[in-house]
Structure 1
């Protein structure tokens, strides 16, 4: 089994009614339109598939009035991957758009940070502002998986598989973790919401949904330490990912990341 992985971004939703004020603190053009794409990420080495985040489903889409383009678990089928056969899922954090539809992966072990579970089930959830990005049903599903022995907790850095590691950075959510993957192109860092957009980490402009601003800014340094270059640091929601990385097949919603960008930034 190879320790070098192929990495794919799979887009399942977008939201184009946002402005730059929704994406950056202290932006110079807060009223300008600023779209957002929603992804899950698939890692494969030929013998094994690992999913990073699970997105959200149609029930959550209706509840929040944020439609999805496709169910993330069904979107995997275009890669000839059966969600029921996924044995490992990394949950970067428990916000609604990263941890929904856990029941679609009945044979998976879930990897999450201790700090995230504590945050999502603790007294901070008594505050509307901190609770808003979470969905109670998603968190309760994860608690049930803890009780059924299907959760691996990490307390800081941890190895998920040979060539796949997680690192806790916090900031956006207290237990947010990023994923560090060995590829033929070099170490690839899936930033998830440690950087929603390239601008967040390149210009050090924090995202407005934030639990700890200092941790968020320090997290940008961690991204560079892990990925090294812009081409190997993948933000969690930036539509530019779909412009700079090669698309796969005829689906129109899968991009390959581990070969590097095919268009310059």
Structure 2
């Protein structure tokens, strides 16, 4: 039997100061403090003959996160650039041929223009929602677009359009790597990435859940979602199917998996 296992590495592309209430639905939390979270991408490196895959691309510009989206402080530095983070693994942006976007929020889809040779795998429903978000323009944060950045989406629907691969529902990207649609969870077209590793199935969440202990282990939904029941059912499914859960805004996973995955449930 062919081994289709992958190694997975977190790439730190920036960080942000956010409220802890984002971890808990309807802000029903006694924890009201601010915390610093990383902005992560994930590098998938095959243990067999296949090309590496990148999941998500970070934000476009730290100042834009505050000025356009009305959010708190965001930071980056040269060693957190896509170029530098990929170089740590012996890769260049030109060598990346496949980028999976879990969803199209500003902190996940801001670096797409850095990849001249990549195809971008996106759920069709997500691109539709991002291009015409259902939101009042009176809202004074979120860029009047529910945290979709108009420049990111414009890149995808015009200069990068020939590189965009729209999918509908679950899709195998490569042996051992699947996109699983969790519709109307964090966003209308959010997808998780299921990856086969030597330690079992790892699931890269995007923002379907933010905090593994609260959202997955305890089943308390996160603060931002489209449909509560869809989100709750997604968390149950992920808990049942994942051996390793990888959120995109948790420094604990950077500490634990910075040098690659290790054995252990969640």
TM-score range, shorter chain: 0.7 to 0.9
Counterpart residue number, 1:54: 57
Describe the shift of the 1:89–1:123 C-alpha distance in structure 2 as closer, same or farther (beyond 3 A): closer
Contact 2:133 2:145 in 1 (8 A): no
Contact 1:169 1:176 in 2 (8 A): yes
Counterpart residue number, 1:180: 194
Counterpart residue number, 1:72: 82
Q: Is 1:225 matched up with 2:237?
A: no
Counterpart residue number, 1:85: 95
- 1:74-153 paired onto structure 2 within 5 Å: 74-122=84-132, 124=134, 127=137, 128=139, 131-144=145-158, 147-148=161-162, 150-153=163-166
Provide TM-score, normalisation by structure 1.
Answer: 0.85
Contact 2:82 2:93 in 1 (8 A): no
Distance in 2 between residues matched to 1:147 and 1:197, nearest whole Å: 33
Q: Aligned pairs, how many? A: 247
Q: CA RMSD, aligned part only?
A: 2.2
After superposition, what is the alpha-carbon deviation per residue over 1:212-233, rounded to whole angstroms, capped at 9, x for unaligned?
2222212102312331x4xx11
Q: Is 1:161 matched up with 2:166?
A: no
Distance in 1 between residues matched to 2:19 and 2:164, nearest whole Å: 37
Q: CA shift at 1:194, angstroms?
A: 1.0
Provide TM-score, normalisation by structure 2.
Answer: 0.84
Distance in 2 between residues matched to 1:23 and 1:186, nearest whole Å: 26
Q: 1:212 aligns with which of 227, 234, 255?
A: 227
Describe the shift of the 1:125–1:71 C-alpha distance in structure 2 as closer, same or farther (beyond 3 A): farther
Counterpart residue number, 2:247: 235
Q: CA shift at 1:146, angstroms?
A: 6.3
Q: CA shift at 1:23, angstroms?
A: 2.6
Equivalent residue of 2:158, what SS? Answer: helix
Equivalent residue of 1:244, what SS? Answer: helix
